[in-house]
């Protein structure tokens, strides 16, 4: 198998998870751009050198975990498929393409088996959200979803995380921060998501959530609106979610369903007014959900809050779980 984009933040997390989960690997090829070629990685007690990706990189490979960006995935798609490999792609390049399954294994695992060489890994915020929506939607039909996201620097990559650290030090020392990775300084600041605005005045990130959630959950007519915000958190995203159903949904029932849902952990301590935080999920697999409550403005709606590690379940873990679906039955 091969990891394309092995030197990036998600690529490094992929390597760690492959080892943690004892994924069956014969030969592992680490591929990246010319800039990263030659780097040395330690994996499973082996020393592996990162290679520059080229036309012959995928010969003899059966699986490619791609996390090098949409343009790179588009560039090498044909070579990967022609080599007989399956690409699990973490970029947005193919997510909405007809015939390409968009998969969250706890939500729509069967979709992964109906592919033509490419399986798309959803956007990080979409993955976290659908884990919480799926058990509720299986019990009562959803009419409308309203979500606000609080997205960490990790969503923009390792360089954005380092920039947040550096600019925070500058502010604390009385200096004026100047951002190079993100369009604005995130140090002691927040701003609306910087992806391009669309014709409908929603940004690209918000429309990813809308369209991807509808595709994953097979609800093309689902009413859905989102507002995405970058916040000064290093790693792990949070989301405030409002879901309206066709009929009232008792909070106690929703709590039981979420507590039993795969990939979800329920955490609520109302006595201490303590609910999920990004630090609770950093470096961990579950999406942690809490503050589940009745919407006081609509008797058929529920409100809840969730946090999840953007690099882990929001990217690398989900990709490996997709790959695990492709393994032959034991």
Q: Which of 115, 193, 237, 307 is catalytic?
A: 237
Residue 194 in tokens:
């910087």
The total number of residues shown for the chain amounts to: 330
124 catalytic? Reply is yes
End-to-end Cα, the chain, rounded Å: 19
- The token duo for 256 is 């039981």
Query: Is there a catalytic annotation at residue 237?
Result: yes
C-alpha separations of 231 from 31, 142, 203, 237 in Å: 31, 29, 16, 9
Give the phi and the psi of residue 254 in degrees, each rounded to 5.
Answer: -60, -40
The number of beta carbons lying within 10 Å of the beta carbon of residue 174 is 6
DSSP 161-225: HHHHHHHHHHHHTT-----SSSSS--TT--EE--SPB-TTS-BHHHHHHHHHHHHHTT-TT-EEE
Cα 248 to Cα 270: distance, rounded to the nearest angstrom:
23
15 HSE (CA, 13 A, CB side): 24
Q: Find the catalytic residue in 115, 124, 203, 228.
A: 124
Could you give the residue numbers annotated as active site?
A: 124, 237
């Amino acid at each position: 198998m091969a990891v394309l984009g092995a030197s990036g933040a998600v690529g490094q997390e992929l390597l760690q998870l492959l080892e943690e989960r004892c994924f069956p690997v014969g030969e592992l090829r680490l591929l990246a751009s010319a800039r990263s070629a030659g780097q040395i990685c330690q994996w499973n007690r082996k020393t592996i050198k990162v290679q520059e990706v080229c036309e012959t990189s995928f010969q003899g490979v059966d699986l490619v975990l791609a996390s090098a960006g949409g343009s790179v995935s588009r560039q090498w798609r044909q070579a990967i498929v022609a080599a007989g490999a399956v690409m699990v792609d973490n970029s947005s390049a193919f997510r909405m393409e007809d015939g390409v399954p968009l998969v969250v294994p706890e939500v729509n695992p069967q979709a992964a088996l109906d592919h033509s060489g490419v399986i798309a890994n959803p956007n990080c915020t979409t993955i976290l959200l659908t884990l919480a929506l799926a058990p509720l939607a299986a019990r009562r039909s959803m009419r409308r979803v309203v979500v606000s996201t609080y997205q960490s620097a990790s969503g923009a990559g390792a360089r954005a995380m380092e920039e947040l650290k550096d600019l925070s030090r500058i502010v604390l020392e009385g200096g004026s921060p100047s951002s190079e990775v993100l369009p604005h300084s995130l140090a002691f600041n927040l701003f609306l998501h910087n992806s391009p605005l669309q014709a409908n005045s929603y940004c690209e990130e918000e429309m990813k959530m809308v369209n991807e959630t509808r595709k994953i959950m097979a609800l093309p007519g689902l009413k859905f609106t989102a507002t995405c915000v970058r916040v000064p958190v290093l790693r792990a995203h949070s989301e405030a979610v409002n879901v309206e159903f066709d009929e009232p949904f008792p909070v106690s029932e929703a709590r039981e369903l979420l507590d039993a849902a795969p990939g979800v952990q329920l955490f609520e301590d109302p006595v201490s007014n303590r609910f999920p935080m990004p630090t609770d999920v950093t470096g961990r697999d579950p999406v942690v959900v809490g503050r589940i409550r009745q919407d006081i403005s609509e008797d058929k709606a529920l409100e809840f809050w969730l946090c999840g590690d953007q690099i882990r379940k929001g990217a690398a873990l989900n990709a490996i779980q997709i790959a695990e679906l492709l393994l032959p039955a034991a």
